[in-house]
Structure 1
């Protein structure tokens, strides 16, 4: 039968992480707590940096933007996943599925670019400290952040265009907990070789470019740090980069495994996807807040101010 004569799929069924009712309750509680902590942690960083004048520098401007991106990135997938754990009907309309795919790749790509941008910021701060305020001025910071959103939009637009033009005529069960290019592509009723090649080339060039950007930045950073005579100075310089390197590893590692290969389904794919869509945005506030003394002090000051306000109000 010709593809044109087949009925086009109007909705998909997300199979999720497990069909076991007991596990679904556990996953619901776990994911709900993690999402609430993600929202709370990232909002706390945003408020802290916005209200504390000592943190109004390029480094913390980029950190606040990362918190905003993490908040958006988690929100694209987490609420739907959490609802589906308790829902009998795990369907998602075709248009909602494509919208989720678009925003997932849009914000995810912005995060890739932004982590690379943060590596460049650390490079300028450590390797060119005398020119830091000149190079990373407010206008430059805003333009760099804006460029990450433009790049993310272009990447996501390509992914959506390639996916939408595929014919979907059944089956309609997506073996995943959210709509993504690879789980959707395997359901297409036509050859996906060309689409797959373009998707891998597009994602691969972004991943490779970001990886090289981060690697080159840190090669210069490490070289400069090793030249510092003071052990205390070296320790302080390394500590400013440790948090960022941790986040880069947690985010890029799973992404490379998922997107730098053909649309072959592995049992571990969904677990790995949970890690970079849910776990990493949840961990980021803890990684940055717990390892950064200035952020911790500002949070304590913010908390102390709130307590003082409440005491005054009660009196």
Structure 2
């Protein structure tokens, strides 16, 4: 029996074929179909035959939709409130772990990284209990802190209804996102710190530079590419925020739609209101916002030329 032999010329294409097939089916086709849908009016319950071309009407509807703009504003608020503190905490924390932990470093980093790989449903159940108005641990902690002189005057006088008060819902979601992703950024920055040659710190120490001076003049400039990478991921992830607000608010956006992000509103347009055309148009408008902010981030981190 003859064995089939593959020509070396075609071997790379054969090895790449499974990935290319999966990418075409689950990557490229959904993108192309979404772009096509953005110019159509279609309710999926009526079948593909009910689809008809409407031009730019879906984009015009999205730009006139007050709830779409509100969802974008909510998304921007949550992305800024949860994304910026992640890096302000992760960078010095990674530096502390890099310098202060040797033997137990991996175990400590693993504990910080654990929330990132935890199930979103488990996180939602956990924080729903923590944010409970009457029995939540967070309100209990606030009640104890009210007994502290001076500090008590800065805290709310009563228990906070975190999940139903529009003014408290956004900070609650931001805390969850911060808690979940700060460990991921710690791992990124710790990996970058381990690539810095120790000779730089030894030379700086011999020149009389303190730890703080070394941090600002050696550590930060050395991990600048990783900061750019981490901030870019935070910008993209923050503007696509979906799981935490969706699960925490039951998919409805919460009181006064305070927790309705752009991704949640897209989902509701598609699966609650059966308007896949408008949802597709909004998704491409959100893509343009993400692309613009990513470009601005790139400009901000571009090396200055004199």
Shared fold, TM over 0.5:
no
TM range (shorter): under 0.3
TM-score (norm 1): 0.25
TM-score (norm 2): 0.26
Structure with the bigger percentage of helix: 1
Bigger-Rg structure (1/2): 2
